[in-house]
Amino acid sequence: MTEFPSATADPARTISAEACAGLLADLRSASPLIQCITNAVVTNFTANVLLALGAAPAMVDIPGEAAQFAPVASGVLVNLGTPTEAQRAAMLEAAGAAASSGTPWVLDPVAVGFLTVRTRTAQQLVAQRPTILRGNASEIIALAGSGGGGRGVDSLDEPAAALGAARLLASRYGSVVAVSGAVDAVVPADGAVIRVANGTPLLTRVTGGGCALGAVMAAFASLTPDPLLAATAATGVYTLAAEKAAILAEGPGTFAPRFLDALAAITPADVRQGLVLPEDS
C-alpha cells in the first residue's frame, strides 16, 4: 500500500476570485492555441468548449506532427480516454516536446488503474512532469499507486479521499494536481488545497464534461507561470458557467448547448461575483 502524505495540512496559500477573473480577461485577449490529443468520444465537444471560451483548438494527434506542433502551441492537452497505438506514440512525443520547449501541458489519465495499457502509458507520461495533472478521485488514487481506479470513467471516490494521493503526485512530479468532484480540489507541490465549490451534476451527464476541462486548464496555464492559479481559474470559470447553464437547461440534452453559450457569455465580473472558493469544505 502506498504511503500518502497527511491530508490535514493547512493551506499554504490562497487564490482569489479577482485573480481568476483577471486570467479569464487575459484568455479572451490572447486566444491561446491549444493542441489537443484527446479521445475520440469527446473531440468535437472539447473543440467547441475551447472556441466558446475564446481559445483556439488544434487536434494535432498523429506521430511525427505531434512533436512538431507542441513547441508552437500555447498549451497541450494529453487525454488517455481512447489510447490507440498511434495516439499513444503521439502523446509521448508531444509531452516530451512540450517539456523540452517549456510549453505548459495537462495530463488527464482517464480510467487508469484496472486497464493496463492506459495505466502504463499514464505512468510514462506523468514521469515527464506535466504542468497540471487532472482527474477524478479514483484516477488520482490509482495513478499514485493505491486503488484500482473507478468504474470506467466514473469515480468511486470523493475528492477528499484523494488528497493524500494528490499531494504525493504533486510532490513527486512538481505538478499541480486537480481533483474533480462535487467540490473540486487543486493541490500544488507544497501541499496546499484550494477548493472550488461551483458546478452542477449535469456536467456528469454529458460526454466530455470532465475531459474538456483538461483543455481549458491547458488554455489557462498558457497565460501565467502559476499553474495553481491556472488550474483554479480554469475550474472556477468552467464550473461557474456550467452552474449558469443548468438554471435554464431541461436536462442533459439542453444542458450541453446552453453550457457552450454560458462559456461564451461568462465575464470577469461574473467570476468575481459568483466564484466560490471555500477555505474549508
Residue 11 confidence (pLDDT): 43
User: What stretch of H or E contains 108?
Assistant: strand 105-108
CA distance 171 to 175: 7
Residue 258 confidence (pLDDT): 98
Which residues are CB-contacts of 278 (< 8 A; sequence separation ≥ 6)? Answer: 183, 195, 197
Residue 81 confidence (pLDDT): 93
CA distance 98 to 107: 12
Q: Are 244 and 266 in contact (CB under 8 A)?
A: yes
24 Cα distance to chain centroid: 16
The answer to the question of residue 6 being in a domain is no
Annotated binding site: 59, 134, 180, 208
- From first to last of the 281 residues of the chain, give the pLDDT tens digit: 344 444 444 445 789 999 999 999 999 999 999 999 999 999 999 999 999 999 999 999 999 999 999 999 999 999 999 999 999 999 999 999 999 999 999 999 998 988 889 999 999 999 999 999 999 999 999 999 875 444 444 445 677 889 999 999 999 999 999 999 999 999 999 988 999 999 999 999 999 999 999 999 999 999 999 999 999 999 999 999 999 999 999 999 999 999 999 999 999 999 999 999 998 54
Q: What residues make up the domain containing 264?
A: 17-274
Burial class, 151, CB count within 10 angstroms (exposed 0-12 / middle 13-18 / buried 19+): exposed
Annotated binding site for ATP: 134, 180
Query: In the chain, how many domains are there?
Result: 1
Q: Estimate the share of the chain in helix, then strand, then coil, as percent rounded to the nearest 5.
A: 50, 15, 40
Residue 19 confidence (pLDDT): 98
The answer to the question of residue 67 being in a domain is yes
Residue 185 confidence (pLDDT): 95
CA distance 204 to 211: 11
CA distance 225 to 69: 21
Considering only CA atoms, give the Rg of the chain: 17
For the domain that residue 64 is a member of, what is the CATH number?
A: 3.40.1190.20
Q: Are 39 and 82 in contact (CB under 8 A)?
A: yes
The answer to the question of residue 281 being in a domain is no
The answer to the question of residue 82 being in a domain is yes
The answer to the question of residue 4 being in a domain is no
Residue 113 confidence (pLDDT): 84
Q: pTM of the entire structure? A: 0.92
Chain position carrying cell 492537452: 77
What Cα–Cα distance (Å) separates residue 169 from each residue in 14, 157, 166, 184?
Answer: 20, 17, 5, 17
Residue 160 confidence (pLDDT): 85
Extended strands (E) in 90-175: 105-108, 132-136
The answer to the question of residue 138 being in a domain is yes
CA distance 11 to 279: 8
The answer to the question of residue 1 being in a domain is no
Annotated binding site for substrate: 59, 208
The answer to the question of residue 116 being in a domain is yes
- Dihedrals phi, psi of 110, to nearest 5 degrees: -60, 125
